[in-house]
Chain A
Amino acid sequence: MLLHKRMKIFFLDHWVKIAIITAVVLLVAAAIYGLSTLESFYRHMTLATLPLQILIVAVNAMIFVYMYMTVFRGGFAKLDKGLVKGEKVAVSFKDVIGIDEAKEECWEVVELIKDRTKLQKIGGKIVRGILMLGPPGCGKTYLAKAVATEAGIPFISMSASEFTEIFVGVGASRMRKLFKKARRLAEAHGGCIIFIDELDAIARKRSFSYLGGGMETNTTQNQLLVEMDGLKEDQGNIVIIGATNAPEQELDEALKRPGRFDRKIYIDRPNLEGREAVFKFYLSKIRYDKSIDVSKLAKRAVYKSPADIMNIVKESALIATRNKKDTVTLKEMSEAMDRIDWGVKHRKFMTAGEKQMTAYHEAGHGVVVYLTHPADDVFKISIVSRKGFLGAVQKQPKEELHSRSKQALLADIRTSLAGYIAEKIKYGTTSTGVSSDFKNAMAIAHQMVWAFGMGETGLVGDYTIYGPEGFPVSASQLAESTKEKLNAETQNIIHKCLLETEDLLKKEWVIVERLVKELLEKEELEYDEVDKIFKEYGKSSIKINEV
């Protein structure tokens, strides 16, 4: 019965191809018969000119297809995506690494699809839609492919932008066709997965304009809603997986209600363990120095997505090739990370004095971060110019933190001011290199007092709600005296941090001098080198749980 159904559906789906093949076979048979009735010279002549004729026909066909696609189909970018069979996607759950929680949730869906008969027997209903949310490059598409592979059912992949067209109704029509195709496949194979990538292109909150703007998106979205509602139990198991980077609140409420995208899976950037696994996975594909401590790499790559990590490994392999090395070492990995985070090294000419001043500035930052910052660590100190800066300290969170304590914010301010203080102690004067540091310090101090209630004045609350017309509260309702107090407190925090930083740097000046010496020699100091210098002076980095 199923075979009969499959054959019928196969014929309905491919009747154009079947007709073309039949016509071609008949024409070829007629051509062979015609050739056989010709005298041998004419046969030879016909066959001799055949390649040229085929070439001419092929060129004509190419020109025709090009013109057709350009004029009627909006260019080649609009070519229809084909169906991919689940087993041919070949991405298994084992290949998805670093996002274990999301994997577990998806595995449930796979089991539901596999055991649909059992589920239907007890009266349960299969999940209709899964919405994958999260930042880009975290493996949403990859996970969707893994679901298709594991479930072993056909998989249709579309990008939501493929539905949007200049003509109203085209997107909706494509949506209808997509679901029609999915229903047929589900009927023949027992299930089908539709994957719509970048769903936000058609799933943003619907807008209603008298001028008709957004009509096409609205119509496409309406059609998606209708189709998802119209999925009856007897029409097979169609699961729609949507993926988006857009925040959930940006999506239309109607799409998120039960019965449509009723299961949401948040795919976040991987944690330390996840990053380590991702690093191991991508490093296994290249030849690398086995002495590289992958856990340190993972630590340094905090907040990086799997796609970022893949990019780091790829970039390091390129650097190794350029440096004519057989294997990728820590040096290349580090350079690759710098290149991605800071951009390519752009060595500007600096005088010896300017270089030394930069070294003092950066060493000041480094000492303060290392000795006092509760959340961040020094991963690199550099006096090589890149983009718009002459030097930099790479400070990264020691662990994934989702909030920032008062101590951490004060440490941020101290860190920002450290460059200024170091210049002042050494030279008795300062440079313009401190401008961005001050901007940063002031912004943090301002936010601490105005928004986070971290001042000492007793004024607690978020005073940033007072703003121009349209803000929750008008700025006119904020007393000048309150403003004065808040601003004075901001300055107070800055001054306190300034004094603390100055005390610290004067106390540890010998370490600053040592770092400067090393920096002037090597230009860049890695985490291990920095750590070693501090250890020589019996200092160790503050631990996160000591705060």
Chain B
Amino acid sequence: MKFNGAVWPLLLLFFSIINISCAPTYPKEKIIEGVKSLCEKEYNVAVEVAIEESTMGVRMPIEGLFDAETFQINTKSFDKITGVMLSASRVALSSDKSIDFYTVIAHDKKVPGAEVVMTRYVHDLRRFFLGDISRGEFTKRMVFDVRFNPQGIIDTWLGSFTFKQYSLADFMITQIQRRITDEFRENNDLVGKFKVMSCTGAFDNGILSFVVDISREGLPMSELIHGKSWRDKVLELCMQKITYVAYIYSFEEAANIQVINKFDDNRIKISKNEINQWRKRRIRID
């Protein structure tokens, strides 16, 4: 085989690129330092960072996290939280340590229990950057919570830092709860007719199970929604949300998915195989 003279510089170039692209920017031992330094340098925010198993937690105190009049998150504070989220994502993506989840907890300096918690699955980030999922879907996949957490007060007093360690099932359950709640808040067919009182999920013995407590608000028992009784419709909507999330994360561990209406103990249970059939549009869930 005869090589052209131009082959050698090209090979050299190729190997140089491979070489520089192989080394991780944030090796295992420098992850915490990396996040702190990025937040400090780029957003002027001092943060605490800890890693438990495959979850990275970032805690940031913010002066005036909530607007005193509207009790909404302050715009400046929100920008800072977004910046810290971005810093955490950069480190998680460019490290040789396997980090699956990162959670950013922003708490008010004066009211330590008042917290904003944002959690992301790192794999979602990769898919988003590679254009595999849309911006809208990416936003929906973030777990967002505004809460009052007494543990936060204790942590502040003790100078410690505790956060939830996520597994994929935990993350999915939290995301599903959020999606179901949002559905009943945003779907025009349902707004004003229902209220989600509670939605709890668990993954046990291969069953991904949800118990929903959805109350009627002035809706007669005989009222139909798109030709279906409201009870059936509610269960159908919940099941759709659950199966969708299980599908997008290829959650193979769940052999069955069930949803139970706390009001009348009415339930739907479907198998993994049926979920696949549903995704292939071979069967309907109703």
Inter-chain contact A32/B130, CB cutoff 8 Å: no
Smallest Cβ-Cβ distance to B24: which chain A residue: A40
B160 at the interface (CB under 8 A from A): no
Q: Measured between alpha carbons, how far is A44 from B21 in the docked complex, in Å? A: 6
Q: Point out the residue from B16, B93, B130 that lies within 8 Å of A39, measured CB to CB.
A: B93
Inter-chain contact A47/B24, CB cutoff 8 Å: no
Q: Point out the residue from A40, A47, A48 that lies within 8 Å of B23, measured CB to CB.
A: A40
Inter-chain contact B20/A32, CB cutoff 8 Å: yes
Inter-chain contact B20/A41, CB cutoff 8 Å: no
B90 at the interface (CB under 8 A from A): yes
A28 at the interface (CB under 8 A from B): yes
Q: Measured between alpha carbons, how far is A32 from B13 in the docked complex, in Å? A: 9
A251 at the interface (CB under 8 A from B): no
Q: Point out the residue from B13, B17, B23, B94 that lies within 8 Å of A41, measured CB to CB.
A: B94
How many B residues, CB 8 Å from partner?
15
Smallest Cβ-Cβ distance to A21: which chain B residue: B6
B25 at the interface (CB under 8 A from A): yes
Q: Measured between alpha carbons, how far is A70 from B146 in the docked complex, in Å? A: 64
* Cβ distance A35 to chain B, nearest Cβ, rounded Å: 6
A36 at the interface (CB under 8 A from B): yes
A45 at the interface (CB under 8 A from B): yes
* Cβ distance A32 to chain B, nearest Cβ, rounded Å: 6
Task: Evaluate whether A47 and B90 lie within 8 angstroms (CB atoms) in the complex, with A39-B25, A40-B24 already known.
Answer: no
Please classify how large the interface on chain A is, using the bins under 10, 10 to 19, 20 to 34, 35 or more: 10 to 19
Inter-chain contact B130/A41, CB cutoff 8 Å: no
Give how many A-B residue pairs fall within 8 Å (CB-CB). Answer: 36
A331 at the interface (CB under 8 A from B): no
Q: Point out the residue from B16, B94, B126 that lies within 8 Å of A40, measured CB to CB.
A: B94
Q: Mark A23-59, 1 if CB is under 8 A from B, else 0.
A: 0000010001001100111111101110000000000
Inter-chain contact A36/B94, CB cutoff 8 Å: no
Smallest Cβ-Cβ distance to B96: which chain A residue: A40
Inter-chain contact A47/B17, CB cutoff 8 Å: yes
Q: Measured between alpha carbons, how far is A489 from B147 in the docked complex, in Å? A: 129
Q: Measured between alpha carbons, how far is A288 from B23 in the docked complex, in Å? A: 65
Q: Measured between alpha carbons, how far is A49 from B131 in the docked complex, in Å? A: 11
* Cβ distance B260 to chain A, nearest Cβ, rounded Å: 41
Q: Measured between alpha carbons, how far is A8 from B129 in the docked complex, in Å? A: 50
For A35, the chain B residues whose CB sits under 8 A away are 17, 20-21
Q: Point out the residue from A36, A45, A49 that lies within 8 Å of B20, measured CB to CB.
A: A36
Inter-chain contact B25/A40, CB cutoff 8 Å: yes
Smallest Cβ-Cβ distance to A36: which chain B residue: B20
Q: Point out the residue from A36, A39, A43 that lies within 8 Å of B90, measured CB to CB.
A: A39
Q: Measured between alpha carbons, how far is A32 from B25 in the docked complex, in Å? A: 16
* Cβ distance B277 to chain A, nearest Cβ, rounded Å: 33
Q: Mark A91-129, 1 if CB is under 8 A from B, else 0.
A: 000000000000000000000000000000000000000
Inter-chain contact A40/B21, CB cutoff 8 Å: yes
The secondary structure that dominates the A interface is helix
Smallest Cβ-Cβ distance to B34: which chain A residue: A39
* Cβ distance A50 to chain B, nearest Cβ, rounded Å: 9
Q: Mark B97-140, 1 if CB is under 8 A from A, else 0.
A: 00000000000000000000000000000100110000000000
Q: Point out the residue from B26, B90, B130 that lies within 8 Å of A45, measured CB to CB.
A: B130
Smallest Cβ-Cβ distance to A45: which chain B residue: B129
Inter-chain contact B20/A48, CB cutoff 8 Å: no
Inter-chain contact A41/B21, CB cutoff 8 Å: no
Inter-chain contact A28/B13, CB cutoff 8 Å: yes
For A32, the chain B residues whose CB sits under 8 A away are 13, 16-17, 20
Inter-chain contact A43/B129, CB cutoff 8 Å: no
Q: Measured between alpha carbons, how far is A42 from B25 in the docked complex, in Å? A: 10
* Cβ distance A23 to chain B, nearest Cβ, rounded Å: 15
Inter-chain contact A43/B16, CB cutoff 8 Å: no
* Cβ distance B251 to chain A, nearest Cβ, rounded Å: 25
Smallest Cβ-Cβ distance to A25: which chain B residue: B9
Task: Evaluate whether A48 and B130 lie within 8 angstroms (CB atoms) in the complex, with A40-B24, A43-B21 already known.
Answer: yes
* Cβ distance B28 to chain A, nearest Cβ, rounded Å: 13
Chain B residues 24-83 with CB under 8 Å of chain A are 24-26
Q: Measured between alpha carbons, how far is A28 from B129 in the docked complex, in Å? A: 24
Inter-chain contact B21/A47, CB cutoff 8 Å: yes
Q: Measured between alpha carbons, how far is A28 from B14 in the docked complex, in Å? A: 11
For A39, the chain B residues whose CB sits under 8 A away are 25-26, 90, 93-94
Q: Mark A157-171, 1 if CB is under 8 A from B, else 0.
A: 000000000000000
Smallest Cβ-Cβ distance to B91: which chain A residue: A39
For A28, the chain B residues whose CB sits under 8 A away are 13
Q: Measured between alpha carbons, how far is A424 from B241 in the docked complex, in Å? A: 102
Q: Mark B166-198, 1 if CB is under 8 A from A, else 0.
A: 000000000000000000000000000000000
Interface residues of A, Cβ cutoff 8 Å to B: 28, 32, 35-36, 39-45, 47-49
Q: 8 A-B pairs, CB-CB below 8 angstroms? A: A32-B17, A35-B20, A36-B20, A42-B94, A43-B21, A45-B129, A47-B21, A48-B130
10 extra interface residue pairs, beta carbon distance < 8 Å, beyond A39-B26, A39-B94, A41-B25? A32-B20, A35-B21, A39-B90, A39-B93, A40-B23, A41-B93, A41-B126, A42-B94, A43-B21, A44-B21
Q: What are the 8 closest A-B residue pairs judged by CB atoms, nearest first?
A: A41-B93, A39-B94, A40-B94, A41-B94, A39-B25, A43-B21, A40-B25, A40-B24
